[in-house]
Amino acid sequence: MLSINITMIIPLLVAACLPFLSKKKLPFHIGWFVLAVPIVLFVIISSYIPSIASGSTYLHTIEWIPAYGIHFTTYLDGLSLIFGLLITGIGSLVILYSIYYLSSKESLHSFYLYLLLFMTAMLGVVFSENLFVLYVFWELTSISSFLLIAFWYYRKGSRNGAQKALLITVSGGFSMLTGFIMLYSMTASTSIRDIIASIDQYVDHPLFVPALVLILIGAFTKSAQFPFHIWLPDAMEAPTPVSAYLHSATMVKAGLYLVARFTPIFGGEDLWFWLVSGVGLITMFWGSFRAIRQTDLKALLAFSTVSQLGLIMSLLGLGSIAYHLGVNENSVPFTLATFAALFHLMNHSTFKGALFMIVGIVDHELGTRDIRRLGGLISLMPITFTVALIGSFSMAGLPPFNGFLSKEMFFTAVLNIHQLDLFSLHTWGVLFPIIAWIGSTLTFVYCMIFVFRTFTGPYQAEKLEHEAHEAPIGMLISPVLLAMLVISIFFFPNLLGDYLITPAMQSIFPTFTPSFDLRQPISPWHGWNMEIWMTIGVIILGTLLYRSFRRWKGVYSLFSERWGFNALYENLLEQLETRSSSLTKFYMTGYLRDYLVYIFLFLIIVTGGIFFFTDAFSFDPSGDAPIRAYEWIIVIVMVIAGISILFAKSRVTAILLNSVLGYMIAVLFVLFRAPDLALTQLVVETISTVLFLLCYYFLPEWKKEKTTNRTKITNILISISVGSLFILVALAVNSGTLFETISKYFENAYELAGGKNIVNVILGDFRAFDTMLEVVVLFIAGIGVYSLIQRKVPKEEEKLEDQ
């Protein structure tokens, strides 16, 4: 049997072949070729079900970067099995659907390439056992989702949606990476199983809580939890198969997977419980509340996805209490919550996938998905209607559909919570069932809106682009299959529970097995208890709200778009852009003068600061030679010449004074017994004077720069401080000799190199390498000057020469 590592790579390999296929004229839709991939993967992964259900797990390791402990390790247990089946199963249905949905005029090979890339990435996320490999695949899902959302890249909405999704999920990914690195630095292990085994020692570590929060931010951004949910409705610009696959069934569940996977690590913390279940409940309520108002069917489904993800997230949070209570009978109600989370996770994938496909069919056949233009399709599109009815009733939590079962379990979980005297739940715990109940009622309302506004009421033919008719059979296969699954899960829930969810529970609660029975029997009917009355209440109140929707629609005007998180996001982007550009414009003035000011200020602060704070400014004049009268005179002449340059009125004066400075330096060289330097200095000084004069002709009139007093004062201050800094540094350096000089060695120049002139021997023998490179510098300068003059002469210059 193929190992999981190899299995995961199959989509990548097929994706690599697709561009070659696109060149050829295929006799069939390219999707048929691609369809084989998820089906094969589904079969391979399904073949593991019996052995996983009996409690075994599979671990495969391929070394990747062994020096850092990063291995391409896959771990197949109950939890990853569920996700693997969802990814490949729904993936096959979505690809089948997309074959009929996308016309051959689209760039199909890129579509399927992105989709296969996404499939590998998603399988990598759920099967990776190594933190950093998981992160790699996590980012690959973000990137491939970005590509898929912007599939119709010529639309502005697609580009904006893709950008938003990428920005939010990648920022979350970075925060998650930081959390992973913290975990790694705590436990010195990159393997999730090792970390789970050893985490007990690190609960009091200062990095434990930051790692928890950062990893949760990653999960929340990916799973569109409040307030990071804003990217999901905008991602609906993607083609519908993509929305069905990524934004309902798989990618948005990566965050849930992460939370479930990390529950054994962080589960016992009350912060974890409050964040996960609190944020989940808020998301559930807010998503269902906003979904009611949407007029676009896909936006409605997007918000409903947000809401359902919040529901699952809150259940995972409730389940983490079991870790706090430990392995005993008290924690049974809370392991039930996790069980419900996994069950609803699977249910949600089935009915939400079907609903998205239905919306796609409506959009494809009628040319619109605006709820105000639709109506009366019940008799025209009977199969579509049936599937929509099944999907939305399941979403609303009605029997005989699978959503009913998971909703009942959800109610049981939240009802259990407020009896618990833990995490200060006795005060706030009562809010849990109330919010959950209100959220479910709102869910019921939008489900009714979805199915009845679209399919009943008057048929408005004049508002539609195409005549309404039933979709082609190929398009209906996938949603019908999913709808059948929705019903069959209701009637045989324990099949799913025993074979898939119980092993997954074992991976979330590894310490609870084998002494503890994690299996929960699901019964479609559980007697007249509180949960069923809550459901009845949901139905009654929901119906009333749906009937009177027009009257309470005004509530939504209280929540203006201007105060939403979308506005915040857009404002943030805009402000970031304008602020950073004004900041850059503030200091990047384009004047060389200003940049020199920065450079010199930096020099003064850093050099001066270092000398000052290390007490390096100590002067010891005892070793200095006496200054003789003629040295004074020469130095004073130089000072006068140097200062006069600043006040020179004409350029020639400045050049003359400059050469005075140069000659005086030559004299100083003579005085300090450096004949070679003096010779060179004289020649170079003369040549540069001549060069100045050469340039002079082409320069404009010498004009005093019009500068304000402020810049003048700044310039004076900076030049004085740079000058004095250098004097001080030179004096400080001169007063301390740390070790003997090496010049003694060069005194044997004659014996070692056969030359009596030490300077020349050093230049030509001891350190000839420097000389060679300086020759090269002169050579480059010469060539540079030559090419500047010869090449690219502007036309004005030519005219000057012609005169």
Partner 1 sequence: MIKIMLLTALSLFGVAIAIALYRIIKGPSIPDRVIALDMIGVNLIAVIAVISIALKTKAFLEVILVIGILSFISTIAFSKFIERGVIIERKRNE
Sites of contact with partner 1 (CB under 8 A) = 628-630, 633-634, 636-637, 640-641, 644, 648, 650, 652-653, 656-657, 659-660, 663-664, 666-667, 670-671, 673, 675, 678-679, 682-683, 686, 689-690, 693-694, 696-697, 801
Burial label for 143, CB within 10 Å (0-12, 13-18, 19+), is middle
Residue 59, strand partner residues: 75
Rounded to whole angstroms, the Cα distance separating 451 from 530 reads 28
Q: Minimal distance in Å, beta carbon 783 to partner 1?
A: 20
Burial label for 202, CB within 10 Å (0-12, 13-18, 19+), is middle
Q: Minimal distance in Å, beta carbon 687 to partner 1?
A: 9
- Structural element, H or E, at residue 60: strand 58-65
Q: Minimal distance in Å, beta carbon 782 to partner 1?
A: 16
Q: Minimal distance in Å, beta carbon 627 to partner 1?
A: 13
Give the residue with the Cβ less far from partner 1, 639 or 778.
639
Q: Minimal distance in Å, beta carbon 640 to partner 1?
A: 6
Rounded to whole angstroms, the Cα distance separating 685 from 532 reads 101
Tell me, rounded to whole angstroms, the distance of Cα 770 from its chain centroid.
49
Q: Minimal distance in Å, beta carbon 153 to partner 1?
A: 60
130 by DSSP, 3-state: which? strand
Q: Minimal distance in Å, beta carbon 799 to partner 1?
A: 14
Rounded to whole angstroms, the Cα distance separating 49 from 55 reads 10
Give the residue with the Cβ less far from partner 1, 627 or 694.
694
Q: Beta 58-65 vs 70-76: how paired, if at all?
A: antiparallel
Residue 131, strand partner residues: none
**Angle formed by the axes of helices 78-101 and 108-127, nearest 10°:** 170
Give the residue with the Cβ less far from partner 1, 659 or 711.
659
Rounded to whole angstroms, the Cα distance separating 91 from 426 reads 44
Question: Under 8 Å CB-to-CB from 103, ≥6 apart: which residues?
Answer: none
User: What DSSP assignment string belongs to 667-715?
Assistant: HHHHHTT-HHHHHHHHHHHHHHHHHHHHHHTTS---------HHHHHHH
Q: Minimal distance in Å, beta carbon 728 to partner 1?
A: 28
Give the count of beta carbons closer than 10 Å to the beta carbon of residue 162.
Answer: 23
Q: Which two tokens stand for residue 479?
A: 């949603």
Convert 468-498 to b/e letters by CB count within 10 Å (16 or more is b). bebbeeebbbbbbbbbebbeebbeebeebbe
Q: Minimal distance in Å, beta carbon 802 to partner 1?
A: 8
Q: What is the CA radius of gyration of the chain?
A: 38
Rounded to whole angstroms, the Cα distance separating 694 from 552 reads 87
Give the residue with the Cβ less far from partner 1, 539 or 759.
759
Q: Minimal distance in Å, beta carbon 575 to partner 1?
A: 57
Q: Minimal distance in Å, beta carbon 702 to partner 1?
A: 13
Give the residue with the Cβ less far from partner 1, 536 or 636.
636
Q: Minimal distance in Å, beta carbon 595 to partner 1?
A: 32
Among residues 241, 304, 238, which one has the least CA distance to residue 102?
A: 241
Give the residue with the Cβ less far from partner 1, 592 or 646.
646
Q: Which two tokens stand for residue 696?
A: 């002079």
Q: Minimal distance in Å, beta carbon 803 to partner 1?
A: 10
End-to-end CA distance of the chain: 89
Give the residue with the Cβ less far from partner 1, 216 or 666.
666
Give the residue with the Cβ less far from partner 1, 434 or 652.
652
Rounded to whole angstroms, the Cα distance separating 339 from 321 reads 13
77 by DSSP, 3-state: which? coil
Give the residue with the Cβ less far from partner 1, 673 or 791.
673
Ramachandran sector of residue 590 (left: φ over 0; alpha: ψ -120 to 50; beta: rest): left
203 by DSSP, 3-state: which? coil
What is residue 451's DSSP assignment? I
Give the residue with the Cβ less far from partner 1, 22 or 653.
653
What is residue 627's DSSP assignment? P
Among residues 36, 87, 37, 32, which one has the least CA distance to residue 353?
A: 87
Burial label for 753, CB within 10 Å (0-12, 13-18, 19+), is middle
47 by DSSP, 3-state: which? coil
Q: Minimal distance in Å, beta carbon 597 to partner 1?
A: 29
- Structural element, H or E, at residue 73: strand 70-76
Give the residue with the Cβ less far from partner 1, 126 or 664.
664
Alpha helices in 367-430 (DSSP H): 382-396, 402-417, 425-428
Q: Minimal distance in Å, beta carbon 659 to partner 1?
A: 7
Among residues 135, 396, 155, 113, which one has the least CA distance to residue 242?
A: 113
Q: Minimal distance in Å, beta carbon 663 to partner 1?
A: 6
Among residues 487, 325, 331, 298, which one has the least CA distance to residue 398?
A: 487
Q: Minimal distance in Å, beta carbon 650 to partner 1?
A: 8
Q: Minimal distance in Å, beta carbon 658 to partner 1?
A: 11
Residue 65, strand partner residues: 70
Question: Under 8 Å CB-to-CB from 391, ≥6 apart: which residues?
Answer: 351, 352, 354, 355, 358, 479, 482, 483, 486
Furthest CA-CA distance within the chain: 116
